[in-house]
Structure 1
Amino acid sequence: MKEEMYELKEEITKSRLFNNDLAPTTINERTWNTYNYTALWIGMAHCIPTYMLAGGLIALGMNWLQALFTITLGNLIVLIPILLNSHPGTKYGIPFPVLARASFGTLGANIPAIMRAVVACGWFGINTYIGGSAFDVLFSALIPGWKTLGGNFMIMGMTVPSAISFMIFWGIEMFIIYRGIEMVKKFENWAGPLVIFLALVLMIWLIVKAKGFGPLLSEPSKFKSFSEFIKVFFPSLTGMIGFWATLSLNIPDFTRFAKSQKQQIKGQILGLPTTMAVFSGMGIIITSASEIIYGKPIWDPVQIISKFSNPLAILIGFFGVIVASLSVNIAANTVSPAYDFSNLLPKYISFKSGGLITGIIGILIMPWRLLADPSGYIYNWLGTYSGVLGPIAGIMICDYWICRRTKLNLRDLYTEEGEYFYSKGFNIKAIIALIAGVLFALIGKIVPMLSVLSDYAWFVGLFVSGILYFLLMYNPSIQFYKTEISRHSNE
């Protein structure tokens, strides 16, 4: 097997579709086990946006049980496409943009890759801003006159102290990503469990200080009927699915390093839905207790920690916030677009330079505006991009599992003359299916009478594109479903 992989790499090295970062992983590179994948998901799911998700749903009228149910159900649903797209990563050792070449074409794969990368850049900016805010509050507590630095001068809508804090956090992220994927694994191994532990300590401390769980847990739903609840539930569920719709596409970027299918599947099942439910629940309890202590519910953990009087407690608290934001941003929002941008020009853009491009775009997007209100965050941001990424997932899942029956020609994924070249590198049928899926999923955003479609944006996009792709590609006369099994596939 090692000799075959070596021969394959030797053969495709000269192709302009190849670089070492996009190459199939070798047996020696497959070092990730069940714990690594569980820790990866703990590290990604325990971020501040997860903590604040329930707050956004409660602000929309749900009680805490309804909010927690919506979050948990959404993550159980999105786990399905995550596991389906994980399989080819482990079997063939390829990242997401290379897998997309099978359905979209060797050059057409850049379309879903860049669409995924742009979303990741937005998320990168959001979490960098949150991490930078933690630094900003910490510096304010430790450095006299920090908040008045620069006076009224603004940089891209931020004060000078906020901008400096933002860039410090940004620099730490770039340092870690420049150390490579192995550094990411080592960081996630300890970061995930640590943040869960610190959040648990914070929750217990607030419950003790408040002498109870607070009024939030007894607050009734604002919906007077089931029909009123359903109108908010489904758009919110779509938003929850959209929260990890990005990873449902690029999960091969991580599973390509798995020792076996069993280990990556088990690790992801243990890591994702449980962590999202537990961490969101902890956010609800902490916020509820904060209402007793501070007179109002505080959903932002940075604000809660900033009210501590003990300097050591402040340092430990902000360390947890910073590690949480670093953990999710590096794993979920930098690794994937780094590969995606590298796929654009493999001979000129490496994994490291792709990460730098992600960081720069993450600044230019100015994503702090997305967090201005919960409805904008859940409906506009999460809901819209779930309607864009759902169709891509539908096409890729249909192509790999139904059309090709999990059989890929590994060599042709890296060459311009093979079966995935289609028409000058583009599979027009996949592009048509993608456009149709996005149109159906998001048309309700501009045509009010069709708003029900946008309420189910991810579902609509996934099924419309997946079914249409199957119908367009189905052609018994050319026996499309009898794709040759590559001798280089890794079972």
Structure 2
Amino acid sequence: MALDPAAQAVSGPDGRVELRDHSAIASSPHYNAELAPVPLARRTWGTYNFFALWMGMAHNIPSYTLAASLVALGMDWLQALLTITLGNLIVLVPMLLNSHAGTKYGIPFPVFARAFYGVRGANLVALLRAFVACAWFGIQTWVGGGALHVVVGRLAGDGWTRAPEVLGRAWTLWLCFLVFWVVQMLVVWRGMEAIRRFENWTAPLVSVGFLVLLAYVAVEAGGFGPILAEPSRLGWGPDFWSVFFPALMGMIAFWSTLSLNMPDFTRFGGSQREQALGQVLGLPTTMSFIAVVAILTTSGAVARYGEAIWDPAELASRFDSTAVVLVALVALVAATVSANLAANVVSPAYDFSNAFPKRITFAAGGLLTGLIGVAIQPWRLISDPSGYVFAWLGFYGGLLGSVAGVLVAGYWVLARTRLALPDLYLAGRGAYWFRAGWNWRAVAATALGSLLAVGGAHGGPFPADGLLPPLAPLYDYNWVVGMVVGLVGHLALAPRRENA
């Protein structure tokens, strides 16, 4: 049965597409107002908005610990900076390619995924992305709660920081974690606009906090000379390269989640040029800034304290000046809330809503994200730098790389950026229903890419010789392997009739 002509999508002069009449799809079980295409009149985000978005998302404590962990693993400041910069430039490519669909059609990531995985099958990758975001939400909340614990400890004294332990940690630390969690949930419950307003005024604070940390450590270490002179424990030989490639995959994996779900934000873009330029200016520059600060600060800690302290809250706790500690960590706490809400709540809220469009609202999806983020026990994920970079980031990066490969192949090669917009919401019919709502070819390509990318996972919680030993050599290149195999596999398996 054909759609009413009035319900067909209309293309504007700049190539962006609008669905002006939703009446033909509004009753579908796969439609709700939050998943619906954004009208052109509401697509108002400009270059600065996307730049500011990246400033808010990149400037946070986990971004700092990511860079600092490389120093803890033995790199010097130059090696760590090169690794992070290269990783950001690589992940920017699929990020921009997938962002295009959001701006052109005004659709979020899970709806975009329906074009290639099927209207029902998209839930597979959407929920995979959602659970990763839940874990990141938990990680951000844990480190933010830790920073809050240090702040209060400086005011309350040793009775606070050395309180009796519960489950191996001071009960006061658990209390700070809970308070940090509740504050975020209150903002989430007020909706997307509350998140946007909160982020606007907190994002710049983190720059202040990190610069205060750097300045204090530099003074304590005797200036930047000793910091920059701190040698690499790895050199530039085999020891370095054995760490470099897994670390590079970890850097890519850090933003591989956003490389999938940037349509959640670019759907509000005023033009393709504005969203692309905002991201090109935003991601590499903001991450390089935080990387430089983290690397110099951590290297300074080695020169001053004799060890690489990759947790900024722990580092600040060693400072003699209470004023410095309070200024730095209050700024970091506020900015971490901002980054966490933008980067790790928006996506799973949409993803959970996509799974049950008529039952789960954005606010309910955000609350579910918070609950899962606690259940996942984030304090275990970042208990040491090797587990953080190699086990956690590397494993899920390989999985999401295969999804990115399928989306890039489907949208740019098979569909040639043309989608039948109303069909993305139809049940039982339309171009994207495939077989019972699933495109099993895309699922097979994703499974193959994931198997080759992470089947040989080793180190940390995995067997020393790998889950599947013959695949162990591929694991050091997990994201690239997943991306390439997912892309090639989808092109090889998908019939050309998928073109919209």
Q: For this structure pair, what is the TM-score category when the shorter chain's length is used for normalisation?
A: over 0.9
* Aligned with 2:442 (options 424, 430, 434): 430
Decide whether aligned partners of structure 1 residues 222 and 286 sit closer, same or farther in structure 2, where only a CA change above 3 A counts: closer
Decide whether aligned partners of structure 1 residues 451 and 412 sit closer, same or farther in structure 2, where only a CA change above 3 A counts: same
* Matched residue, 2:478: 457
Deviation at 1:294, TM superposition (A): 4.2
Query: SS at 1:15's partner residue?
Result: coil
* Aligned with 2:290 (options 271, 279, 302): 279
Deviation at 1:295, TM superposition (A): 4.9
5 Å matches for 1:50-199? 50-143=63-156, 145-147=159-161, 149=163, 151-154=164-167, 158-199=169-210
* Aligned with 2:425 (options 414, 436, 439): 414
1:69 and 1:311 map into 2 onto residues whose CA distance is 34
Moved more, 316-325 or 282-291: 282-291
Decide whether aligned partners of structure 1 residues 389 and 187 sit closer, same or farther in structure 2, where only a CA change above 3 A counts: same
**Deviation string for 1:63-93 (max 9, x for gaps)?**
2211110110000000000000100001100
Deviation at 1:105, TM superposition (A): 0.3
1:354 and 1:361 map into 2 onto residues whose CA distance is 11
* Matched residue, 1:16: 29
The answer as to 2:348 corresponding to 1:334 is no
5 Å matches for 1:391-402? 391-402=402-413
**Deviation string for 1:299-355 (max 9, x for gaps)?**
222123334455543332221111231122111111101111111100000111001
Decide whether aligned partners of structure 1 residues 152 and 239 sit closer, same or farther in structure 2, where only a CA change above 3 A counts: closer
The answer as to 2:61 corresponding to 1:48 is yes
2:302 and 2:478 map into 1 onto residues whose CA distance is 35
1:209 and 1:310 map into 2 onto residues whose CA distance is 11
1:225 and 1:206 map into 2 onto residues whose CA distance is 27
2:241 and 2:218 map into 1 onto residues whose CA distance is 32
Decide whether aligned partners of structure 1 residues 84 and 311 sit closer, same or farther in structure 2, where only a CA change above 3 A counts: same
Q: 1:436 corresponds to which letter in structure 2?
A: L
The answer as to 2:258 corresponding to 1:247 is yes
**Deviation string for 1:407-453 (max 9, x for gaps)?**
01110101111110110100011111111111111122213343221
Deviation at 1:224, TM superposition (A): 5.0
CA contact (8 A) 1:2 1:26 kept: no
* Matched residue, 1:299: 310
Percentage of pairs with the same residue = 49
The answer as to 2:454 corresponding to 1:442 is yes
Moved more, 321-330 or 217-226: 217-226
1:100 and 1:215 map into 2 onto residues whose CA distance is 50
2:432 and 2:187 map into 1 onto residues whose CA distance is 35
* Matched residue, 2:300: 289
Moved more, 325-334 or 109-118: 325-334
1:358 and 1:244 map into 2 onto residues whose CA distance is 18
1:288 and 1:392 map into 2 onto residues whose CA distance is 36
Query: SS at 1:453's partner residue?
Result: helix
Decide whether aligned partners of structure 1 residues 201 and 55 sit closer, same or farther in structure 2, where only a CA change above 3 A counts: closer
1:423 and 1:471 map into 2 onto residues whose CA distance is 19
1:40 and 1:431 map into 2 onto residues whose CA distance is 32
2:151 and 2:326 map into 1 onto residues whose CA distance is 7
State how many pairs are aligned. 476
1:66 and 1:291 map into 2 onto residues whose CA distance is 16
1:32 and 1:452 map into 2 onto residues whose CA distance is 43
Q: 1:441 corresponds to which letter in structure 2?
A: A
Decide whether aligned partners of structure 1 residues 152 and 93 sit closer, same or farther in structure 2, where only a CA change above 3 A counts: same
**Deviation string for 1:106-131 (max 9, x for gaps)?**
00000000111111111111110001
TM-score by length of 1: 0.92
Deviation at 1:282, TM superposition (A): 0.7
2:143 and 2:313 map into 1 onto residues whose CA distance is 8
CA contact (8 A) 2:209 2:332 kept: no
1:210 and 1:18 map into 2 onto residues whose CA distance is 58
* Aligned with 1:377 (options 380, 385, 388): 388
Moved more, 53-62 or 309-318: 309-318
Moved more, 41-50 or 403-412: 41-50
Deviation at 1:298, TM superposition (A): 2.7
Q: 1:136 corresponds to which letter in structure 2?
A: H
Moved more, 211-220 or 63-72: 211-220
Query: SS at 2:21's partner residue?
Result: helix
Unaligned runs of at least 5 residues, structure 1: 484-491
CA contact (8 A) 2:72 2:310 kept: no
Deviation at 1:31, TM superposition (A): 2.5
5 Å matches for 1:194-205? 194-205=205-216
Decide whether aligned partners of structure 1 residues 274 and 152 sit closer, same or farther in structure 2, where only a CA change above 3 A counts: closer
The answer as to 2:330 corresponding to 1:324 is no
CA contact (8 A) 1:214 1:288 kept: no
Q: 2:431 corresponds to which letter in structure 1?
A: E
**Deviation string for 1:32-67 (max 9, x for gaps)?**
211111111111111112212233222323222111
1:187 and 1:263 map into 2 onto residues whose CA distance is 23
Moved more, 464-473 or 344-353: 464-473
Deviation at 1:466, TM superposition (A): 1.0
Query: SS at 1:423's partner residue?
Result: coil
Q: 2:267 corresponds to which letter in structure 1?
A: R
1:221 and 1:291 map into 2 onto residues whose CA distance is 12
Query: SS at 2:374's partner residue?
Result: helix
Unaligned runs of at least 5 residues, structure 2: 1-9, 458-466
1:442 and 1:89 map into 2 onto residues whose CA distance is 29
Query: SS at 1:11's partner residue?
Result: coil
Deviation at 1:367, TM superposition (A): 1.1
* Matched residue, 2:7: none
CA contact (8 A) 1:341 1:354 kept: yes
* Matched residue, 2:6: none
TM-score by length of 2: 0.90
**Deviation string for 1:168-223 (max 9, x for gaps)?**
11111112222222232233333222311332233234323433126442233233
Q: 2:271 corresponds to which letter in structure 1?
A: S
Q: 2:385 corresponds to which letter in structure 1?
A: P
Deviation at 1:381, TM superposition (A): 0.4
Query: SS at 1:421's partner residue?
Result: coil
Q: 1:277 corresponds to which letter in structure 2?
A: S
